[in-house]
A and B are shown apart, each in its own frame.
Chain A
């Protein structure tokens, strides 16, 4: 061994080196007598949207950080009202916005990881029903600093069981707009006495607007993205609303 060729001072200096090379990966020579040393808990999604299913996976590691066989894992969520978890499989259902602590237990050892559940901030921002003609459109606004993937979001009229899904690959830019033409919405948009609903890909209603009469211009949120729907001064398809 090296130690015999160096002074004790050097041996002390070498000790962290030996430690660091073991800590760096799991391919160090596997010592006999591997024992469960740490439990690693990973989440497929560190943040999940309301209605989304995701999952936790517990991995038992030996003293060399190598996976070893261990007993079955059990899982629990500190706030079941935020996210529920299947106790034996780790399947997670995000229920309401908030943060919950997911705990996995294997052979008496535990590991924890925080899961944040959020509701989508994307909003219907402007609607042009265009009477009973087919020239209408709906504008969405993304108030966040990151693009949002709207693949599989569903748009419906008053009958929420019949809608149109946005195709895979549909995104809305950060602080940007997405306009969907009436022709892409099953049953279109009516001018008088109609409703428009938008559901996330996880089946949760994100926003909706109902109106009794056709606007002279359009319905738009004032202020932009956050306020109530009012009749705008002029349609502003794909850009900031013109508020009265």
Chain B
């Protein structure tokens, strides 16, 4: 080989070693960093998710370090299975998930929340079948309501189909015909997340002349509105 070719091959070898693709030409692999990831961040209350540890050598390549152990800084916020990293969101807040393997630890902050989706307007329509429930999303992001449910009886839930979303600062109307048992003259409706958490509830003693709506829109109490506003901001007296 010419000197130039040898130099080029050396450069090539150095380049691939720096990429971590060929550790054979380098020093022994040692555990250098431990990375911790959480499959769902943030996680909802009652949601199961999981932490995963990846141990990396000095080249950034995965290295086997044996089993990891996991812990949650605040078990009131999230519990974690010490050996498997399975996580259960318990109540709103933040907790630090810690993973340890081969004497090294990694941390990640996990936020647990209850979605801010609210029952915003209810038109019971007496004991007739023309009623509806309007939901409101006060956040800046579209939200997936797949498998959320509406019910009077928590054991007889009507689930929203997979693919149901509510737009950011927008509304979703669910017709009475899709709610098991419908909406009666004096009745109630509960809203459950897909993890079974009761996110909102509203009971009424008698039918409204108009509808019941949150005043101010999206945040206030549910009171009789001036006029029903299906799928739009409430008309408050």
From known contacts A10-B4, A161-B155, infer whether A44 and B21 are also in contact, taking CB-CB under 8 Å: no
B residues in contact with A14, CB < 8 Å: 8, 11-12
A residues in contact with B19, CB < 8 Å: 20-21, 23-25
B residues in contact with A147, CB < 8 Å: 83-84
Cβ of A185 to closest chain B Cβ, rounded Å: 20
Task: Report yes or no: A201 in contact with B48, Cβ–Cβ below 8 A.
Answer: yes
A residues in contact with B83, CB < 8 Å: 147, 169, 171
Alpha-carbon distance A151/B162, docked complex (angstroms)? 26
Task: Report yes or no: B5 in contact with A13, Cβ–Cβ below 8 A.
Answer: yes
Residue interface mask A22-54, B partner, CB < 8 A = 1: 011100000000000000000011000000011
Q: Say if the beta carbon of A86 comes within 8 Å of chain B.
A: yes
B residues in contact with A44, CB < 8 Å: 39-40, 49
Residue interface mask B14-49, A partner, CB < 8 A = 1: 011011110000000000000000011000000011
Alpha-carbon distance A165/B162, docked complex (angstroms)? 26
Task: Report yes or no: B81 in contact with A168, Cβ–Cβ below 8 A.
Answer: yes
A residues in contact with B88, CB < 8 Å: 151-152, 168
Task: Report yes or no: B194 in contact with A53, Cβ–Cβ below 8 A.
Answer: yes
Alpha-carbon distance A53/B194, docked complex (angstroms)? 9
Q: Say if the beta carbon of B208 comes within 8 Å of chain A.
A: no
Cβ of B234 to closest chain A Cβ, rounded Å: 27
Residue of A nearest to B194 (CB): A53
User: Number of B interface residues, CB 8 Å?
Assistant: 36
Task: Report yes or no: B18 in contact with A6, Cβ–Cβ below 8 A.
Answer: no
Residue of B nearest to A80 (CB): B162
A residues in contact with B11, CB < 8 Å: 14, 17
Residue of B nearest to A161 (CB): B155
Alpha-carbon distance A86/B144, docked complex (angstroms)? 8
Residue of B nearest to A12 (CB): B8
Cβ of A144 to closest chain B Cβ, rounded Å: 14
User: Number of A interface residues, CB 8 Å?
Assistant: 37
Cβ of A184 to closest chain B Cβ, rounded Å: 17
Alpha-carbon distance A7/B155, docked complex (angstroms)? 78
Cβ of B139 to closest chain A Cβ, rounded Å: 14
A residues in contact with B82, CB < 8 Å: 169
Binds B, one of A88-96, A103-111, A129-137: A88-96
Task: Report yes or no: A45 in contact with B80, Cβ–Cβ below 8 A.
Answer: no
B residues in contact with A10, CB < 8 Å: 4-5, 7-8
Cβ of B43 to closest chain A Cβ, rounded Å: 11
B residues in contact with A85, CB < 8 Å: 162
Contact of B165 among A84, A86, A169 (CB under 8 A): A86
Q: Say if the beta carbon of B223 comes within 8 Å of chain A.
A: no
Which chain A residues (59-90) contact chain B, with CB distance < 8 Å?
84-89
Residue interface mask B182-219, A partner, CB < 8 A = 1: 00000000000010000000000000000000000000
Cβ of A145 to closest chain B Cβ, rounded Å: 15
Task: Report yes or no: B163 in contact with A87, Cβ–Cβ below 8 A.
Answer: yes
B residues in contact with A228, CB < 8 Å: none
A residues in contact with B162, CB < 8 Å: 84-86, 91, 93
Q: Which of B40, B81, B83, B142 has the most CB of A within 10 A?
A: B81
B residues in contact with A4, CB < 8 Å: none
Cβ of A43 to closest chain B Cβ, rounded Å: 9
Q: Say if the beta carbon of B173 comes within 8 Å of chain A.
A: no
B residues in contact with A13, CB < 8 Å: 5, 8-9, 12
Residue of B nearest to A45 (CB): B39
Alpha-carbon distance A76/B165, docked complex (angstroms)? 16
B residues in contact with A23, CB < 8 Å: 19
Residue of B nearest to A168 (CB): B79
- Nearest 5 CB-CB pairs, A to B? A24-B19, A168-B79, A44-B39, A13-B8, A89-B144
Supply 25 A–B pairs (Cβ within 8 Å), ascending by A.
A7-B2, A7-B4, A9-B5, A10-B7, A13-B12, A14-B8, A16-B12, A17-B15, A20-B15, A21-B19, A25-B19, A44-B40, A84-B162, A84-B163, A85-B162, A88-B163, A89-B146, A89-B165, A91-B144, A93-B147, A147-B83, A149-B81, A151-B48, A168-B79, A168-B81
Give me 12 other A-B pairs in contact (C-beta within 8 A), A24-B18, A85-B162 excluded. Answer: A9-B5, A13-B8, A17-B15, A20-B19, A24-B19, A88-B144, A88-B165, A93-B147, A149-B84, A151-B81, A151-B86, A170-B81
